[in-house]
Copies of this chain bind each other. A is one copy, B any other.
Amino acid sequence: MTILGCGAAAPTPSFLTTSQLVNIHNNLILIDCGEGTQLTLRKNKAKFQRIKSILISHMHADHTMGLPGLIASMNLLGRKSDLDIYGPEELEQMVRKVWHLTGTHIEFEVHFYVTCINAPSIIIDESSYTVKSFPTKHRIPTCGFVISEKKDAYKLKPNIRKRYRLNHLEIRKLKRGEDIEKDGELQVNSKFCNPPDSERSYAFVSDTSYSQKVVNEVANCTLLYHEATFEKRDDKIAKKTLHSTSEDAARVAKEANVGSLLIGHFSNRYRDLSTLLNETKEVFKNSELSQEGKTYSLN
């Protein structure tokens, strides 16, 4: 996952607005698309024509304003393959209206899918991964996303098939992780198989205030990106605008038992982000500040 922008409200020389690029098994997924995202993708030398899916959390301008222009540039550069966009109901109308009024004709297929705003739902189900959307707690309908690897099969050890003359039924059982009966004896799975790689999952949560429902949805994920717009002392503004403080983000990470936490969506009011980070670490130690242009690997 590469952070393209992690500032709140408006792009500044310090922080661009929200956008992230996720590469899962060589599939590119863009999450949110603030103004200037197409330029940041280019600066990061991302292969943006290979983006298959775009997930948009909510309609606020700092998460959407770059979308009409990004797709227009994909078109200018000769894209032919379809593009799937998952987001709020109003998104398609906004994008198509801008294209219409700016004389932009897109030559490839763009499919808009409306994300469910009432309940969690699997919005992408590919052979090796899924994407789940779920509602967060913000001023307008907003979704978070969890991108999860699918459970791999148990892996047969080299040459094991011939050596033990395993039949089709036995192989299926072993790949499911089960033990088998062979020559009248129970044989443990580990004799034949290596366990699957552990599944990794990445959760994106922005924008939101603290929410118990979010905790449930991101439980046990490998990496959680959670907005932490404000320091603890600005808790009142956070509550009023339905954003999170450093402590809120850390609480979600702790209660959801995630592997590590990355905070972002920083308010422009802070020159120095060390307070945000320290406050987060007080509650959840394995925390980090988002850095634009940095890629976070889930290993």
Contacts and interface: CB of A to CB of B under 8 A. Distances in A.
Contacts of A102: 59-61, 64-65, 94
A7 B136 CA distance: 39
Contacts of A158: none
Nearest to A64: B102
Nearest to A66: B35
Interface stretch (A68-76, A119-127, A159-167, A256-264): A68-76
Contacts of A60: 102-104
A39 to B, nearest CB: 5
Number of copies of this chain in the oligomer?
Answer: 2
Interface string A11-50: 1110010000000000000000001101100110000000
A77 B9 CA distance: 10
For A10, A73, A77, the residue with the greatest tally of chain B CB atoms inside 10 Å of its CB is A10
B35 A12 contact: no
Contacts of A97: 94, 97-98, 101
A93 interface: yes
Contact of A13 (B12, B42, B72, B90): B42
Given A94-B98, A103-B140, A39 B61 contact: no
Contact of A101 (B13, B42, B66, B90): B90
B65 A68 contact: yes
B103 A35 contact: no
Contacts of A76: 9-10
A104 B90 CA distance: 13
B12 A103 contact: no
B42 A39 contact: no
A61 B104 contact: yes
A220 B104 CA distance: 35
A176 interface: no
A139 interface: yes
A254 to B, nearest CB: 31
10 contacts: A11-B69, A13-B43, A59-B101, A59-B103, A60-B102, A60-B103, A61-B68, A61-B104, A65-B102, A103-B140
Interface of A: 9-13, 16, 35-36, 38-39, 42-43, 59-61, 64-66, 68-69, 72-73, 76-77, 90-91, 93-94, 97-99, 101-104, 139-140
Given A11-B69, A13-B42, A61-B103, 19 more contacts: A10-B69, A10-B72, A10-B77, A11-B38, A12-B39, A13-B43, A16-B39, A35-B36, A35-B65, A36-B39, A59-B103, A60-B102, A60-B103, A61-B104, A65-B102, A93-B101, A94-B102, A98-B98, A103-B140
